[in-house]
Amino acid sequence: MKIVFDKNEKGSEELKSLLGFVSADFNFNNLNTDIEHATYDVIDVIGSDIYNLITDTYLGDEPLEEAEQAQKTKYAKVMALVPKLQLPILCFALLNYEANNAVSHDGNGRLTTVGETEKLPYEWMIARDESTQRKRAYKGLDILLRELDASELPEWTDSDEYKANKALFINSVKDFSKIIKTFNSYHLLLRLQSFMEDIEQSCILPIITASVFNDLKTKIKSNNLEPADKTLLFLIQKPIAYKALADGYQVLPLEMFPYSVDGHKKKMADNSEDKEKQIHFLETKYKFHLQILADEIAKLNQVEVVVDPMPILEKNNKFVDLS
């Protein structure tokens, strides 16, 4: 596959420029396989069209002096995205590389060597370093996505990845942060997309009815929301936000998430006891705001709306949370 690195054999310079903490004598070629693997992961987020545009522009030639100004402008815009794309790929690649490079491998199995002035880090040091690098990678993805939005390149705005996100009731970091003040990750927003789609269909649609659901979607797409629509939309967004975070928190890496979800209290944790407490907090907020939405719809329609507290049941799970 085409990778967005090492043009004119300057991969080591690019690596050192983007990740200054990497040793100057690091052999860039050792990362080739991990870069390919990490590239596929990033393409899953941004789509192949915009990736190919950036990579082809990077590997290609600069427009000639006599080229049209529009061509030169687009070239400059795309080239500005190159380091934004390179950073998360490099971070993920380095994480994968280091996980296997902590020990060497030969015919006798795994070996490790400690020099006179070096010693192996403790396990907690490795875990902390890996967590920090993941946060850097996810932050790099956030910056890349924001820059893609700002570029307004059709290869991005016409992509399935972009359109799928914009079709949701919560379709921006700004929307999410109105509810969860500490939420500031575009990348996490995209990762929560499948959860939000399920919540819209299974939890929101039965309450607000198909006609209201579809009408609101149409108005969002055309940017034609009336004040009453905006009020209803915010009521819809609240349960979606809390439920999506609760679902995502159970399966996605901790480093993707904000420091806390309750404003100022304990940070998001990965130990089972604290994690269960935070999931319970999110689920409780979800149920609370879902009931508020149902009550508001009942007032508008002058009918009783019954909220199903268990709209999504796992087929093979006989246990139900009745808290």
Burial 73-102 (b: 16+ CB within 10 A, else e): ebbeebeebbbbbbbbbbbbbbbbbeeeee
Is residue 224 included in any domain, yes or no? yes
Q: Which residue range is the domain that position 251 belongs to?
A: 167-301
Q: How far apart are CA 192 and CA 244, in angstroms?
A: 6
Q: Mean pLDDT for the chain?
A: 85
Mean pLDDT confidence for 211-216? 95
Q: What does pTM read for this prediction?
A: 0.82
The whole-number pLDDT of residue 272 equals 67
Q: How far apart are CA 163 and CA 193, in angstroms?
A: 11
Is residue 32 included in any domain, yes or no? yes
Residue 295 has pLDDT above 60, yes or no: yes
Q: For the chain, what is the radius of gyration of the CA atoms?
A: 24
Q: Please report which helix (H) or strand (E) contains residue 110, including its range.
A: strand 109-111
Number of structural domains (the chain) is: 2
Is 236 in contact with 169 (CB distance < 8 Å)? yes
Last residue of a domain, one of 160, 180, 205: 160
The whole-number pLDDT of residue 296 equals 92
> What are the phi and psi torsion angles at 104 (to 5°)?
-95, 160
Q: How far apart are CA 259 and CA 187, in angstroms?
A: 15
Last residue of a domain, one of 160, 192, 215: 160
191 and 260 housed in the same domain: yes
Is residue 248 included in any domain, yes or no? yes
Q: How far apart are CA 260 and CA 266, in angstroms?
A: 6
Q: Please report which helix (H) or strand (E) contains residue 77, including its range.
A: helix 69-79
42 and 26 housed in the same domain: yes
Q: Per residue in 161-195, pLDDT tens?
A: 999 999 999 999 999 999 988 888 999 999 999 99
DSSP per residue, 257-314 = S-S-SSSSSSPP--SHHHHHHHHHHHHHHHHHHHHHHHHHHHHHHTS-----S-SS--
Q: How far apart are CA 205 and CA 215, in angstroms?
A: 12
Residue 101: band (very low, low, confident or very high) from pLDDT cuts 50, 70, 90: low
Mean pLDDT confidence for 272-283? 84
171 and 292 housed in the same domain: yes
Residue 107 has pLDDT above 80, yes or no: no
Which of 228-237, 255-264, 292-301 has the least mean pLDDT? Answer: 255-264
Residue 23: band (very low, low, confident or very high) from pLDDT cuts 50, 70, 90: confident
Residue 111: band (very low, low, confident or very high) from pLDDT cuts 50, 70, 90: very low
11 and 151 housed in the same domain: yes
184 and 124 housed in the same domain: no
131 and 200 housed in the same domain: no
Mean pLDDT confidence for 259-267? 55
The whole-number pLDDT of residue 148 equals 97
Pairwise pLDDT comparison (68 vs 104), residue with the higher score = 68
The whole-number pLDDT of residue 226 equals 94
Residue 276: band (very low, low, confident or very high) from pLDDT cuts 50, 70, 90: confident
**Cβ atoms within 10 Å, residue 244:** 28
Pairwise pLDDT comparison (4 vs 122), residue with the higher score = 4
